[in-house]
Amino acid sequence: MAIGLGLSIGTVNTVSALAEEGSAKAPPGRRSAAERSPAITRRTTLAFDSTGMARVGMMPRHGRAIAEFADLGQPKTMRARVGHRALTAADLIAVVAECLITEARRDRRAVDAEVTLTHPAGYSAGQVGELRAALDAIGLRQVALVAEPIAAATWLEAERGPLMPGLALVYDLGGANLDITLVRVGPGCPRNPIVGVPIRSSEFGGRAFGALVAARAGSGAAVASVSSAVTGSTADELRTIHIRSSLKLVYRCLRMADVTMADVDCVLVVGGAARPVEVSQVLACELARPVITAPDPERTIADGAAIMARRVAVAAEEEAGHHHRRRHHGAHRRATARALLLSRRTRRRLTRVAIAAGMSAAGVALALALPADTVVAGLSQLGLR
């Protein structure tokens, strides 16, 4: 059975998801929570024990956990020393991927799963190459790399498709950043469906909203005061302000792609900070376009990556089956040819022996035209068998 593993390693959280054959049996958009493929979310932290073994998402009692390394686009990328090794940020991301793959393959179904790892769409070719080299260095050459909004659009196609050719605006509100990308969807998409230039900003997201809440409560307020300041309508108001302020980035993305909101067919909202209903409500009201949000928007990108990985696995299985059928067909043809050749040789030898025994050529031809059992019985009477 073809299985795909999708990995989304974000600055704050990491999500791993599986796409199995059974997860696609229900009609698009009709799968219940119990029918969705498994997904695991954990903090994007790394801790190493005394043997150098890495653990993802754990806070050790002794020592420290490495965090804030999963964004290669930061002005100063992190480096960490583990034992005698100096690991770059790309190396740390590769270690996280290796841990997640090892964990997933403990399940016997996922032993041969294809793997797709996502990365921000704004990465340069050099940054993607650095991540590719880090994966290859630890034996993960089979892991495919894909931009996050492309994986999100793959989920959209699988969940709500088939789609008409058009544009989708992917609004990715994560814990540390907001990413806005235009992606072509539907039949006839180019290999790289991203349109224009993706935009990333740390002014919006879960952390930025937390800072907005703290500012509203007062810089010297206690934790209890902060909590009481954002209950009920106050929290809704602050979140609405936060999302409306981000629309300037949406329009900038549209201008850079030389399109307008009228050219956009839908808005796909993903990311862990996009769970509150106010996010999709504000976007739908302000942008006047259909807004699509998954039941758990934090896992949308990992789900899309898993779907892409499963498609690769299905294609590999089909190719292997086609190759097996070709080999079987070729072996059958060779066996038939050998049987025919042996039959001709046998006929020639029988003809020579029968003529030597005094039969005429016409009699031999007539005998060979008879059923095999009759010929064998006649040869036995002649003492030739």
d(CA 355, CA 376) in angstroms, rounded, equals: 16
The whole-number average pLDDT for the span 238-259 is 96
The average confidence (pLDDT) of the chain is 83
- Rounded to an integer, the average pLDDT of 258-274 is 97
- Say if residue 224's pLDDT is above 50: no
Residue span(s) of the chain under CATH 3.30.420.40 come to 4-315
Output phi, psi for 54, to 5 deg.
-95, 145
Tell me, what's the pLDDT at 236?
85
Classify 146 as helix, strand or coil.
Answer: strand
Give the H/E segment covering residue 103.
Answer: helix 89-104
d(CA 37, CA 113): 14
Task: Give, as one character, the DSSP assignment of residue 230.
Answer: T
Please give the model's pTM, rounded to 2 decimal places. Answer: 0.79
Answer yes or no: are the C-beta atoms of 148 and 301 closer than 8 Å.
yes
What is the spatial distance between Cα 176 and Cα 332, in angstroms, rounded to a whole number?
Answer: 61
Question: CATH class for domain 4-315?
Answer: alpha beta
Beta pairing, strands 166-173 & 178-185? antiparallel
- What mean pLDDT is predicted for residues 21-29? 50
pLDDT digits (tens, 9 = 90+) for 130-152: 999 999 999 999 999 999 999 99
Is residue 174 classed as helix, strand or coil in its secondary structure? Answer: coil
The pLDDT value recorded for residue 107 is 76
Q: Dihedrals φ, ψ of 14, to 5°?
A: -120, 135
Q: What is the distance between the terminal CA atoms of the chain, rounded to a whole angstrom?
A: 54
Q: What is the pLDDT of residue 137?
A: 96
Predicted local confidence at residue 22, as pLDDT: 54
Residue 33 has pLDDT above 80, yes or no: no
Q: Considering only 208-212, 288-292, 308-312, 317-321, which range has the smallest mean pLDDT?
A: 317-321
Distance of alpha carbon 245 from alpha carbon 199, whole angstroms:
15
Q: How far apart are CA 8 and CA 302, in angstroms?
A: 5
Q: Please tell me the distance from the alpha carbon of residue 173 to that of residue 312, in angstroms, as a whole number.
A: 28
Res 105 pLDDT > 80: yes
pLDDT the model gives residue 384:
46
Structure tokens at 241: 């302000």
With tokens 């039941």, the residue in question is 295
